[in-house]
Amino acid sequence: MTSTGSTGYSSASSTATAAPVLVRHAAGRGSLGGVGLVLAGAVSVQFGSAFAALLFPRAGALGVVALRVTFAAVLLLVVTRPLLRGYSRIDWAVATGFGLALGGMNTLFYQAIERIPLGTAVTLEVLGPLLLSVVASRRAASLLWASLALAGVYLLGRGGLGRLDAVGVAFALGAGVMWAAYILLNARAGARFPRLDGLAIAMTVAALVSLPLGIGAAGGTLLEPGVLALGLAIAVLSSGVPYTLELLALRRLPAATFAVLTSLSPALAALAGYLVLDQGLSLPQCGAIAMVVAASAGAVRTGRTGDR
């Protein structure tokens, strides 16, 4: 996932709680550097997920989620030191909902990749924000991108989706729904909390929800030094590094360009799954992922055109 929590379907990075000011960016080294930062962040997220899967046999999906989210929350709290006074009940309701969406998205996604290949899971998960983008744009062209995405999923099915664990597929689709909710609540939190305060509070809420589930599933295994070290590394790869790189990238790139680049997540997830987890893909499955990537990028571009 982008399961960083990163998304290419909102007007800002999922790591930023306020939409960036859209300004004209001159082409040049700055833009190329921004592209590199976005791609590096996306690679970090997907390889973080792949390494997380390696820890499943020891701590289980719920245990790994608990470690990742808890470490990420601690890192964010230390870095941002969010102010906790002066907010209304509605503000706290938004932050809590944001945190529940964040925690639910990660929990469902990790449950999915425990059962089905990483590339397939991300391809199915991305349907949530893709459909949200199509609905939000209200343009006829968006229906074409939705059709392309569905055709890609159909091709993925012909390539072996029917042989996948049905529960894993359901978890991936559920993670997509939570991703869409995350996008909506991220935008609302960004309007109510300064800097990364909303994200830090939301990640803390996610940790408070995920940690009891992880302890219940993995018990004392979570306290083993090796497991803790791997959990911290996964948190840094999946949250710390991407947050930093994406914020730097948004200073160099328009948000629309950023969004299109992050649409490459399914392809990068498939690469990470192949290199780290030895999850090979057939030619039809690669074609299906390419179709979903193209549909995601096209839907984002169409939505941006409609916003002008």
Distance CA 43, CA 242 (A): 9
- Residue 169 to residues 24, 105, 149, 227, Cα–Cα distance (Å): 41, 14, 16, 27
Under 8 Å between Cβ of 216 and 62: yes
pLDDT tops 60 at residue 166: yes
Query: What local confidence, expressed as pLDDT, does residue 252 receive?
Result: 79
Domain boundaries defined on the chain:
29-307
Closest CA to 33 of 202, 253, 189: 253
pLDDT tops 90 at residue 65: yes
Under 8 Å between Cβ of 17 and 199: yes
pLDDT in tens, 215-228: 999 999 999 999 99
Under 8 Å between Cβ of 196 and 91: no
**pTM for the whole structure:** 0.81
Dihedral sign computed on CA atoms, order 252, 41, 206, 270: positive
Instruction: List CB contacts of 278: < 8 A, sequence separation 6 or more.
Output: none
pLDDT in tens, 95-153: 999 999 999 999 999 999 999 999 889 988 988 887 877 777 667 677 787 788 778 77
Whole-number mean pLDDT of the chain? 81
pLDDT in tens, 225-258: 999 999 999 999 998 888 888 777 877 777 667 7
